[in-house]
Amino acid sequence: MQDSGGQPTGGRSVDVRNLAGKWALVTGAASGIGKATALALARRGADVVLCDVDQKGLKITQDLAASLGRQTVARQVDVSRRDEMASFADEVHQDLEAIDILVNNAGVALGASFEETLLEDWDWIIGINLLGVIHGLHYFVPNMVARGRAGHVVNIASMAGLLAVRALSAYSTTKFAVVGLSEALRAELESHGIGVTAVCPGFVNTPLVESARMRGKAAEALARQEIVDFIERRQHTPERVAEKILRAIQRNRAIAPVFPEAWLGYYMKRFTPRLLAWALRKGSERAEKGTAQS
């Protein structure tokens, strides 16, 4: 068991210093955090199973992992589609009894207030961000349990899964759900020697923002570019997140905030929630005012 702050307090964990002979599966591996994590695992010796809807980007990641001398399997899969994930899992388990590390990373973003969010948007973001994680767990975790060896599950959530801000209603809903699911699953899998970590990055420079759906004010080209510019200035790369993920696996953390803003939000939510609410409100007001004046 470990405390809610993610401090390791016993139980088996996967030693990521040498992953030779281990298999890791990463969803959303064509770019961003998924790509960086897949390659970080490969550099530590893991063979990798990769999936993404972006076949071109997926092939690049696969080739890079193979160049490190690793065995690779890569398939074009939509994690929101139950039938595709079931077929993918059947194919993987024909050759492997079970994987050792599961990284449910595939995700999308939506910038919109609740009123601006269409029902179709809810279907889209829940399908990928939440059902995608559930499908990964449903089709791969039972084999990990049945095998009876130490393993680890990583679910990529977000700082937005720890605290909620304006114009991210749907996105935060899915990420809060991923955090809650991870905590519940961790309690269930502990006795099987399988750790579960919810990774909650702060602002990361990935293609996620540029490809996100935007509604209302957030849909304005200038507003989107301001977000992209802000994140680029932070210089928080997917590679840095990947290293934090490996550290979280090694330490068997329950919750792993990544970067100072995520840690600050995490602790403020726990100990000074009113101050956090005030700070988030003021920050949103300044951002909206700045966009209106531009």
Q: Which helix (H) or strand (E) holds 196?
A: strand 194-201
Structure tokens at 91: 């194919």
Q: Of residues 139, 171, 266, 267, which has the active-site annotation?
A: 171
> Helices in the chain by DSSP H: which ranges?
32-43, 55-67, 82-95, 119-125, 131-147, 169-189, 208-211, 221-234, 238-251, 260-271, 273-293
Q: Is 104 helix (H, G, I), strand (E, B) or coil?
A: strand
CATH: 1.10.1740.110, 3.10.20.590, 3.40.50.720, 1.20.1260.10. Which one for 23-293?
A: 3.40.50.720
pLDDT-derived band at 294 (thresholds 50, 70, 90) equals very low
State yes or no: is 171 an active-site residue.
yes
pLDDT tens by residue, 90-121: 999 999 999 999 999 999 999 899 999 999 99
* pLDDT reading at 292 higher than 70: no
pLDDT tens by residue, 210-236: 667 788 765 554 454 555 444 444 557
How far is 202 from 204, CA to CA, in rounded Å?
A: 6
Give the residue, 169 or 203, on which the prediction is more confident.
169
What are the domain boundaries of the chain?
A: 23-293
